[in-house]
A and B are shown apart, each in its own frame.
Chain A
Amino acid sequence: MIEALRQKKHLQFVLLLVIFVLLCLIITPSEGNWFWRLPPLIQKLPGIITSSVDYIMFDWWLIDVWDPDIEDYEEKPMMNQFTRSASGLILFMIEFVREIFLGGVKTIVTFSGWDWATENEWARWPALPWTVVAGGAAILGYALQGPRLALFVGFTFVYIAVFGQWEPSMETLSFVLIAAPMAVLLGLVLGVWAFKSKTVEMVLNPILNVMQIMPHFSYLVPVVVFFGIGDHAGAIATVIFATPPMVRLTLLGLKKLSPEVAEAGLMSGCNNRQLLFKVLIPTARRDILIGVNQVIMSCLAMVVIASLIGAKGLGNNLLIALNQLRIGLALELGVCIVLIAIMLDRLSLAWADKQVDYFADLSFVERHKFSLMFGVVFVVGVILALIGSLVFKEDFNYLYLIPHNKGLTTQDFWQAGVDWIWDTFFYALKGFNEWLIVQVLVPVKTAYLAMPVFATFVLTMGIGYIVGGVRVGLAVGGFLLFIALTEWWDRALITAYLMTLSVLISTAIGIAAGTICSQHPVSTRIMLTICDTFQTFPSFIYLIPVMMLFGVTDTSVLIAIVVYATVPATRYTIQGMLSVPPQLQEAGSMSGVSRVQRYLSIELPMAFPHIALGINQTVVFALSMVIIGALIGTDDLGQLILKSLSDKDGVGNGLVLGLCVAFIGLAIDQVLRTWANQRKKALGLA
């Protein structure tokens, strides 16, 4: 009996489940019962964090600072001064880019003061006419790759202008154009540093792990405390969020290099700097570029969230539109964000792939053709704008700057569509919605909340132990213990319920879709393209259409999560299926197994390690979406994090709540990763 147990893992799982159910039945739910809920022993932790942050910010390391107003030195805390200067610098850079696009007076004020600027009416930057920006960007696309990219880039800008989203879009763009390079640079520096020093790598690794699973919201509060509110704060939060994948991929790329490449560089006579910039980084550029790409995607994914702490632009407008349930407007804004995301993505890739022809014997005109083209576009654009100022004397000058919400709009169309759907399918939708909530969501949620903490630990640690032995079991236990000792265990259970439910659905859909599509090369390619496109959409975009259909309910959140999280499950399944060696399939066919048998006994097990990593990604995606779901009202950890934004003790709460979410993710990550690695070893793939 014991021997059989030791051999058969599924028997162990069954036994574990039985114990779990028994525990659930035995343990009585009551306040004082530690088996039911652990006491919130680290309840004070958030408060401690908050006060230490306050101390660092306002009392630590006082320095003398010259104050021009009172014309004397004054004692001020170092940190405060530092963050203030950093904020000023970043804000200036954002304003600078912004005023190139939109015109303005702020950068001039920085150098001269408000009084002077108000007195002198002429002292403003004129905006570039939108035609010039669109044309210039299209030329850039052409120079970097060719007519197709030029067309797409041009289309993006024209679309934005025509639909009256020029101002918020340029605000967002100026924000991304500062935040993304900062994140790339920071990530590159940290990645290279970690590559050079083992210690740095060891320190950085766990921090990155946690940061990548921490929900975006939890960064916001500390940023507000240190840097205040505004575009710069949004940019900093974005940088913090976007940097970890860049560090990861830089390090990965550098580590993958064969040592001979570095040696070839050395033997070519490179010094350290040349070796790094001319050999190592360019050679690792595939991975580094994926990093850049991820940074851009993360920046756009943050535009809505950053608007919570004062970043202007599309994100802010989208948030307002969602709150007012103006779905049509939200949809238009969403399209703008997606277009900008895809455009930046393509431009950055094209830039990286660009090559130079040395022996082309070019004339002056050919060599400077892009500058000349831009010159022409500039002159034509300005002339058009001037003509425009004559033609549209009374009205807005549509050839210069199309003011906000004064362009074409399809809002009414979409709104009508939404109304139509509501009118036509009202009962069906409502029926489905109610059924889902009453029959599925509420019961599952109740069941989760009815789990005694002891039973939960036995179950999760048991799974960890069966899969990966004592080490993994303890790791899982450690992560959960932290959560159980905060006062938010019940909230965490709600997060877990939404997450597990949607992960299950996503995984099922993803594996099915991935398997079916991988049967044929054409469908494989189509599916991968769809996955690519979907992955470019910032996460909150998914909320728009589901809210169209289901309003502000848990159903909306669940469906948004499922749609969002199905993408990685599908992609990894396809990759797993493609990685099955064809000989194996043939061997299966030769020994006369049926199609289904072959799938179950050969392909699925072989693809499993990939699929497990896909599920892992699905969990990460689902968790981040669950938290974003707070924007349309859930009652889990995410909602609390959102609340901590406007709370005076917000820092500690926000961070600890963020850690709770991250630890749920890390616990699952531990188990799935170990499992995938074991399968890989067993199949001889590692």
Chain B
Amino acid sequence: MSTQAETSTSVEPVIRCDSVYMIFGDNAHSMLKQANGVVDHAKFHEAGCIVGVNNASFEVHKGELLIIMGLSGSGKSTLMRCIARLNEATAGKIYIDGEDILSMNDKQLIELRRSKMGMVFQSFALLPHKTVLENIAFPLQVKGVSTEDSMQRAKEMVDLVSLTGRENYFPRQLSGGQQQRVGIARSLAIEPDIWFLDEPFSALDPLIRKEMQDEFLRLQDVLGKTILFVTHDFDEALRLADRIAIMKDGIIEQLDTPSNIVLNPATEYVRKFTEEVPREKVLKIEAVMDPYDPNEDFSDLKVQKDAIIETVAEDVLNTDKAVAVVDAAGEIVGALHASHIVHVLFGGHADDAAEKAS
């Protein structure tokens, strides 16, 4: 997933935000003008304004999965909703495929949503009076696709999210996980380029959540959408993310790859936030490998350089020889020593590993 993102930096990003502010309150605009872009929470609060998003600038590229994290009330949903223009950003510019969406009129906006955007909601937000099939076909029908075609397409989506056989169920007859599958299928029915997911799995219990994450990864493998994904759950973020944005009080504190966020926290807040994160779940083999020395005695085991440590650690620790690290093409690019893994993971000398990762 990440390779695509890295190679396409030169082309127009799918989503680009330039100093986006979202302030709630009647006098938000005048307050923001006075403040000259420097937003102070306490002062705004006194004036009856609530800061949702505070000066957010970033880009998301085609096929990239950006996860937005932060505590409750940090503005994750608000940021996402600004990009979908469910909230009108108070200031700043938001571009989708180079088009300024804040200057779009209603008609253009509807057209944009009908052709490019899909969103999955935490509470599923299915239409209770429609069956699974009708729910999924809904975005197509409002677009004016004929009943026959939209039902056909909806049927395909039902198969895609493994709900075959339940087409004519009503949402109330489905479990939470199944309802969210419908939500996912609905958001994908129009084949959007950009996929918004706001805590899609938070309302599900852990077992189902794991299952849904697997499902999600499978779908993403097939579809390769550009994704904005909000979550509270660091494990989830690590499993899915290409890059992670960490928000606090409306400000994006850091936006980077998972390993960089863990290894090089940009602020004290991010460090605290990531403190408890188990390293082996974040770091790739790259970060702990030593230079390749052809004279060394290697075991038969070979590992990919961008594999997450956790996934191969057991095998590596079980061999007493060094393990060869290969890149995507199969070329050997380094050597892996069990002692080094143990050192990085349990010895606490993250700096050492960090140098190599960067």
Which positions in A face B, CB cutoff 8 Å? Answer: 258, 260-261, 263-264, 266-271, 274, 278-279, 282-283, 285, 355, 357-359
B168 proximal to A (CB < 8 A):
yes
**Do B129 and A283 touch across chains, with their CB atoms under 8 A apart?**
yes
**Do A269 and B167 touch across chains, with their CB atoms under 8 A apart?**
no
Chain A residues with Cβ below 8 Å from B122 are 260
**Do A285 and B129 touch across chains, with their CB atoms under 8 A apart?**
yes
Chain A residues with Cβ below 8 Å from B138 are 268, 278
**Do B139 and A263 touch across chains, with their CB atoms under 8 A apart?**
no
Chain A residues with Cβ below 8 Å from B110 are 269-271
B102 proximal to A (CB < 8 A):
no
Q: Which of A263, A270, A282 lies in contact with B142, CB distance below 8 A? A: A270
Stretch at the interface among B9-17, B111-119, B268-276: B111-119
User: Which residues of chain B in 108-145 are interfacial with respect to chain A, using CB atoms and an 8 Å cutoff?
Assistant: 110-111, 113-114, 117-119, 121-123, 125-131, 133-134, 138-139, 142-143
**Do A258 and B123 touch across chains, with their CB atoms under 8 A apart?**
yes
What is the CA–CA distance of A241 and B196 in the complex, to the nearest angstrom? 47
What is the CA–CA distance of A263 and B118 in the complex, to the nearest angstrom? 11
What is the CA–CA distance of A73 and B319 in the complex, to the nearest angstrom? 108
Chain B residues with Cβ below 8 Å from A261 are 125, 127
B62 proximal to A (CB < 8 A):
no
Chain B residues with Cβ below 8 Å from A279 are 127
- CB proximity of B111 to chain A, nearest CB, Å: 8
B86 proximal to A (CB < 8 A):
yes
B84 proximal to A (CB < 8 A):
yes
Chain B residues with Cβ below 8 Å from A269 are 110-111, 113-114, 139, 142-143, 190
- CB proximity of A265 to chain B, nearest CB, Å: 8
Chain B residues with Cβ below 8 Å from A359 are 133, 151, 155, 167
- CB proximity of B116 to chain A, nearest CB, Å: 10
Q: Chain A CB within 10 Å — which of B84, B111, B133, B142 has the most? A: B142
B186 proximal to A (CB < 8 A):
yes
Closest chain A residue to B130, Cβ basis = A282
Closest chain B residue to A279, Cβ basis = B127
| Interface of A, helix, strand, loop or mixed by DSSP | helix
B221 proximal to A (CB < 8 A):
no
Q: Which of A260, A271, A282, A285 lies in contact with B125, CB distance below 8 A? A: A260
- CB proximity of A647 to chain B, nearest CB, Å: 49
**Do A355 and B121 touch across chains, with their CB atoms under 8 A apart?**
no
- CB proximity of A290 to chain B, nearest CB, Å: 15
- CB proximity of B271 to chain A, nearest CB, Å: 34
**Do A267 and B113 touch across chains, with their CB atoms under 8 A apart?**
yes
B147 proximal to A (CB < 8 A):
yes
Chain B residues with Cβ below 8 Å from A285 are 129
Chain B residues with Cβ below 8 Å from A260 are 121-123, 125
Q: Chain A CB within 10 Å — which of B111, B129, B131 has the most? A: B129
What is the CA–CA distance of A285 and B170 in the complex, to the nearest angstrom? 15
B106 proximal to A (CB < 8 A):
yes
What is the CA–CA distance of A282 and B126 in the complex, to the nearest angstrom? 12
Closest chain B residue to A266, Cβ basis = B86
What is the CA–CA distance of A264 and B185 in the complex, to the nearest angstrom? 13
Known contacts A260-B123, A271-B110, A355 near B131 by CB under 8 Å: yes
What is the CA–CA distance of A631 and B193 in the complex, to the nearest angstrom? 69
- 11 A-B residue pairs with Cβ-Cβ distance under 8 Å, sorted by A, are A258-B123, A258-B125, A263-B119, A263-B125, A264-B125, A267-B86, A267-B117, A268-B113, A269-B114, A271-B106, A282-B127
**Do B86 and A263 touch across chains, with their CB atoms under 8 A apart?**
yes
User: Which residues of chain B in 54-110 are interfacial with respect to chain A, using CB atoms and an 8 Å cutoff?
Assistant: 81, 84, 86, 106, 110
Closest chain B residue to A357, Cβ basis = B168
**Do A268 and B186 touch across chains, with their CB atoms under 8 A apart?**
yes
Closest chain A residue to B129, Cβ basis = A282
Chain A residues with Cβ below 8 Å from B86 are 263, 266-267
Chain A residues with Cβ below 8 Å from B139 are 268-269
What is the CA–CA distance of A258 and B198 in the complex, to the nearest angstrom? 15
- CB proximity of A199 to chain B, nearest CB, Å: 16
**Do B84 and A267 touch across chains, with their CB atoms under 8 A apart?**
yes
- In the A-B complex, the 3 residue pairs with the closest CB atoms: A269-B114, A264-B125, A268-B139
Given A263-B125, A358-B134, output 6 extra A-B contacts at Cβ < 8 Å: A264-B121, A264-B186, A267-B84, A267-B86, A267-B117, A269-B142
What is the CA–CA distance of A283 and B172 in the complex, to the nearest angstrom? 13
- CB proximity of B216 to chain A, nearest CB, Å: 18
**Do A264 and B167 touch across chains, with their CB atoms under 8 A apart?**
no
- CB proximity of A257 to chain B, nearest CB, Å: 10
Chain A residues with Cβ below 8 Å from B142 are 268-271, 274, 278
- CB proximity of A625 to chain B, nearest CB, Å: 37
Chain B residues with Cβ below 8 Å from A274 are 142
What is the CA–CA distance of A283 and B151 in the complex, to the nearest angstrom? 21
Chain A residues with Cβ below 8 Å from B186 are 264, 268
- CB proximity of A170 to chain B, nearest CB, Å: 33
Closest chain B residue to A260, Cβ basis = B125
Closest chain A residue to B151, Cβ basis = A358
**Do B129 and A267 touch across chains, with their CB atoms under 8 A apart?**
no
What is the CA–CA distance of A263 and B142 in the complex, to the nearest angstrom? 14
What is the CA–CA distance of A263 and B196 in the complex, to the nearest angstrom? 12
What is the CA–CA distance of A267 and B126 in the complex, to the nearest angstrom? 12
- CB proximity of B97 to chain A, nearest CB, Å: 17
What is the CA–CA distance of A267 and B184 in the complex, to the nearest angstrom? 13
Closest chain A residue to B137, Cβ basis = A358
What is the CA–CA distance of A414 and B23 in the complex, to the nearest angstrom? 74
What is the CA–CA distance of A285 and B151 in the complex, to the nearest angstrom? 24
- CB proximity of B197 to chain A, nearest CB, Å: 12
What is the CA–CA distance of A424 and B76 in the complex, to the nearest angstrom? 80
Closest chain B residue to A267, Cβ basis = B119
Chain A residues with Cβ below 8 Å from B128 are 283
What is the CA–CA distance of A263 and B85 in the complex, to the nearest angstrom? 10
Chain B residues with Cβ below 8 Å from A355 are 131, 168
What is the CA–CA distance of A359 and B81 in the complex, to the nearest angstrom? 36
Closest chain B residue to A286, Cβ basis = B128
Chain B residues with Cβ below 8 Å from A268 are 113, 138-139, 142, 186
Chain A residues with Cβ below 8 Å from B106 are 271
Closest chain A residue to B128, Cβ basis = A283
What is the CA–CA distance of A347 and B186 in the complex, to the nearest angstrom? 32
Chain A residues with Cβ below 8 Å from B123 are 258, 260
**Do B113 and A266 touch across chains, with their CB atoms under 8 A apart?**
yes
- CB proximity of A355 to chain B, nearest CB, Å: 7
- CB proximity of A95 to chain B, nearest CB, Å: 35
